[in-house]
Structure 1
Amino acid sequence: MKPRLVFVHGIGAPRDVEAEQGEWLRALAEGARRAGHDRWVSALTGGWGADTRFAHYGDLFHRAGAQGADGSWGADEDEALVAELLLEAIDEHLVDPGLAAPERRVLLHARARLAPAGQGQGLGNVGRRTLNALTTLTSAPGLRWFGDLASSQLTLTVLGQVARYLNRGEPDSSGDSLDRRIRERVAGCLDQDGASVVVAHSLGTVVALETLHEHKAEIPLLATLGSPLGMRTAVLPRTRPQPPSTPDVVGRWLNFWDRDDVIAARPVLEGFIRPNASQAGPVSDRVDSDGLWVHPAAKYLAHPAVAGPIVAALDTLAGQ
């Protein structure tokens, strides 16, 4: 029987599930080749090495009549949380001793637009201030963190997905909140009787963590990429259950981050998330990518340090 591999995507516009799964598998295959697991290259790209499921929930964010390209922006409570998320990300990068002077100037300018001195942080103008700060960040030439984003409005829409998930609202006709419906999508991709290797990216790391707390079957490896879980004011206190802990079904948790990934602003999770009863907890490792925009999952998966443990876990399951 082929081992189960579950991908959990993060923030972003509505996506072509088949195309994105293929992109992730090709990147993982490249990382496997670099890690010396040559036999897994064709196994992954050919589809015969793993029973791969792509847990897609992006369509659930569509909200007819709302502002933004995918109809996902507009509620005051979402705007407030996005402002909090962006402010924390900026502040975390500002304390980086290796930050270049031009980038520091841009970040300080963006921070001043987001949180002007002497002004309260009420909901009144928070959406406009956030948009102004994002305009500063996305228009700065060569700024690594926002180099591939199309516009500040699109960025606002995308970051709003984190807020909407964590605000636990938007019930459907059955009363199920948006975050519950998203977790059900992920749970439906997991093997309910056997083991699954889970690879989660960005917002998907929050979704996967919460889903696995409700899961009963074995997860020999959870790999998280570009996670915002460590953001101590915007994300971590809103994660469930509290205090944040490793799900009991997880045997090993590897957390990967890039220093230029704005979403992973506070990346070393072992200082914030408790281990489970088996003493498994997050182990964070830095990887470095080329290019201006390092957040995409494919950038992470192509790293041998990321792909190696994933295919090794699949190899173990395949031999059982």
Structure 2
Amino acid sequence: MQTGIKPQVVLVHGIGGPRDVEAERRDWKIALAEGARAAGHADAISGLTMDWTADTVFAHYADLFAREGAQGAAVAGLDDEEAAELTLAVAAEVIEALLASPEYAGDEQLGRLLVQAQPTPVNAEGRPRQDQGVGASARRASAVCTKLARVPGVQKGLRRVSAAQWLGILSQPGRYLRRKDFATLPDGRSAALDERIRARVLQHLDPGRPAIVIAHSLGSVVALEALAGYEGQVALFLTVGSPIAMNALVWQRLRPSPPAVPRTVERWVDFWDGDDPVVPLRRLTELMAPNAAGVRPEPVPLDSRRLWTHPATDYLRRREVAAPVMETLARLSAAS
């Protein structure tokens, strides 16, 4: 345990377009403060919101998904079959989660959409059937995502996001996990999109200071992989709305493999809402190997009883989510 050093809180966002970093940092802290008040930590809220007890930073990487001058399918990263198929896999997992909920159980429209989201038919050699045509997966991914965006509840949850933006958002996990989209760094080295995204997160972490890392959605995948080689103390790793356990899309593509709790993580709490369609039915605590200290993800289910629950701030407002953050901050502050 390090003493006499101000802790850091690193917020890692999920899927979505570029955002106002300072506005997002403020909104996440306000939501967390609401949860802290509900959890009985009203006296510590000022320390959190004013950065007195810890320095809070928002690790933003959404702009790295943008492609300058790109049009059509390339905007969403669907300019090759692999990217389109991965996007379909994301959509299929979301649809399956919706169908597993009481609100959508037996929904015929979603059932048909799930069939449409299945992998592209292949021939005896394992190659896409010729009758599918060039770009068939991209067209199918576009159609599936557009229809999914019109489903009641999903449509409300998307607020003002257009169908085209929704397609781009759903393509982000696949684009990260296919380990491509190379770009030249300032030092002249070429790096894939996933490496550049992890670098963005790591640049906000100071190994000389204890950290609380709060990661949402795709951000939980990014943070898990970034922390795998991180040497600094992570007093608390908190994940909300995480798709890490998505079998075909995420779990089998994680690095390093097999996945394990990062070495320097002292506690990992994983929150999921039963109405969150991005969270798979498989649970992290049953899959993730512990680190050398025996740390495993601690599963905490939530129940919002809403049609669509996924935004980070919805989670952070919950007393169950805020409590371990405030308790860890209090412990770190006492030690300093």
> Equivalents in 2 of 1:303, 1:104: separation in Å?
30
- Counterparts of 1:147-166 in structure 2, within 5 Å, are 148=159, 150-166=161-177
Distance 1:26 1:103, change over 3 A: farther
> Residue 195 of structure 2 corresponds to which residue in structure 1?
180
The aligned counterpart of 1:286 is: 301
Q: Is it true that 1:111 corresponds to 2:114 in the alignment?
A: yes
Query: Is the counterpart of residue 37 in structure 1 residue 10 in structure 2?
Result: no
- Residue in 2 that maps onto 1:237: 252
Structure 1 length as normaliser, TM-score?
0.91
Of 253-262 and 69-78, more deviation after overlay is shown by 69-78
1:139 equivalent in alignment to 2:144: no
Q: Which runs of 5+ in 2 are unaligned?
A: 129-133
- Indicate the SS of the match to 1:319: helix
Deviation at 1:172, TM superposition (A): 1.8
User: Displacement of 1:181 after TM fit?
Assistant: 1.1
Q: How does 1:1-320 map to 2 (within 5 A)?
A: 1-67=5-71, 71-76=75-80, 77-94=82-99, 96=100, 98-100=101-103, 104-115=107-118, 119-120=121-122, 122=128, 124-143=135-154, 146=157, 148=159, 150-173=161-184, 174-266=189-281, 268-289=283-304, 291-320=306-335
Q: How far apart are the structure 2 equivalents of 1:163 and 1:184?
A: 18
Deviation track 1:110-143 (CA, whole Å, cap 9, x = no partner) reads 1133239x95594741222222222322212345
Structure 1 window deviating more from structure 2 (161-170 vs 147-156): it is 147-156
SS of corresponding position for 2:238: strand
Letter aligned with residue 52 of structure 1: T
Aligned-partner Cα distance in 1 for 2:92–2:298:
26
> Counterpart of 2:183 in 1: which secondary structure?
coil
* Whole-angstrom CA distance in 2 between matches of 1:106 and 1:49: 50
1:158-198 residue CA offsets vs partner (Å, 9 max, x unmatched)? 11111111111122222111111111111111121121010
Does the aligned pair in 2 maintain the 1:202–1:225 contact within 8 Å?
A: yes
Residue type of the alignment partner of 2:8? R
What SS does the aligned partner of 1:280 have?
coil
Deviation of residue 53 (structure 1)?
Answer: 1.3
Name the residue aligned to 2:131: none
- Contact 2:205 / 2:211 at 8 angstroms: preserved in 1? yes
Deviations 1:188-232 (A, max 9, x none): 111211210100011110111011111001111100011110001
The answer as to whether partners of 1:253 and 1:282 remain within 8 angstroms in 2 is yes
- The CA distance in 2 between the partners of 1:109 and 1:146, in whole Å, is 21
Q: Distance in 2 between matches of 1:145 and 1:267?
A: 26
Report how many aligned residue pairs link the two structures: 317
Contact 1:93–1:265 (Cα < 8 Å) also in 2: no
> For residues 128 and 72 of structure 1, what CA distance do their matches in structure 2 show?
12
> 1:45 offset after TM fit, Å?
2.2
What is the TM-score of this pair, normalised by structure 2?
A: 0.87
Supply the distance in 1 between the matched residues of 2:232 and 2:71 (Cα, whole angstroms). 40
SS of 1:254's equivalent?
A: strand
Indicate the percent of aligned positions where both proteins have the same amino acid.
41
- Alpha-carbon RMSD across the aligned residues, in angstroms, is 2.4
- Per mean C-alpha deviation after superposition, the further-off stretch among 257-266 and 137-146 is 137-146
